[in-house]
Amino acid sequence: AQKVTQAQTEISVVEKEDVTLDCVYETRDTTYYLFWYKQPPSGELVFLIRRNSFDEQNEISGRYSWNFQKSTSSFNFTITASLVVDSGVYFCALSSVNDMRFGAGTRLTVKP
């Protein structure tokens, strides 16, 4: 069965600190997609990024960057110079042909 592990349950940082959210996945499928979603305090999950299993290129979008490494089955998410608005619960997710699996989420609190 597929599995997504977000070992960090809660992280607390002070504004302007960099923070990395870890995601490790397990799958036997060769074709799959990895996602990050954010659930702000208001509740509605918001899509952040998608990566397919054949594209290991890292991506940077503003203060956000993602590091995908198939060799270690990891898809980590880094926020540079964090802001209070980055607070929320971040979910890593794995989708393949027959399954959609979310990690337990990491609650990030950014303090001013």
Partner 1 sequence: KAGVTQTPRYLIKTRGQQVTLSCSPISGHRSVSWYQQTPGQGLQFLFEYFSETQRNKGNFPGRFSGRQFSNSRSEMNVSTLELGDSALYLCASSEGYSNQPQHFGDGTRLSIL
Please give the structure tokens belonging to residue 47: 């899509």
Please give the structure tokens belonging to residue 96: 């393949």
- Name the residue nearer to partner 1 (CB basis): 76 or 95: 95
**Distance (Å, whole) CA 3 – CA 109:** 25
Among 7, 46, 83, 84, binds partner 1 (CB under 8 A): 46
Q: What is the dihedral of CA 1, 54, 5, 18, to 10 degrees?
A: -170
Among 5, 22, 67, 102, binds partner 1 (CB under 8 A): 102
Query: Shortest gap between Cβ of 33 and partner 1 (angstroms)?
Result: 4
Among 17, 33, 74, 109, binds partner 1 (CB under 8 A): 33
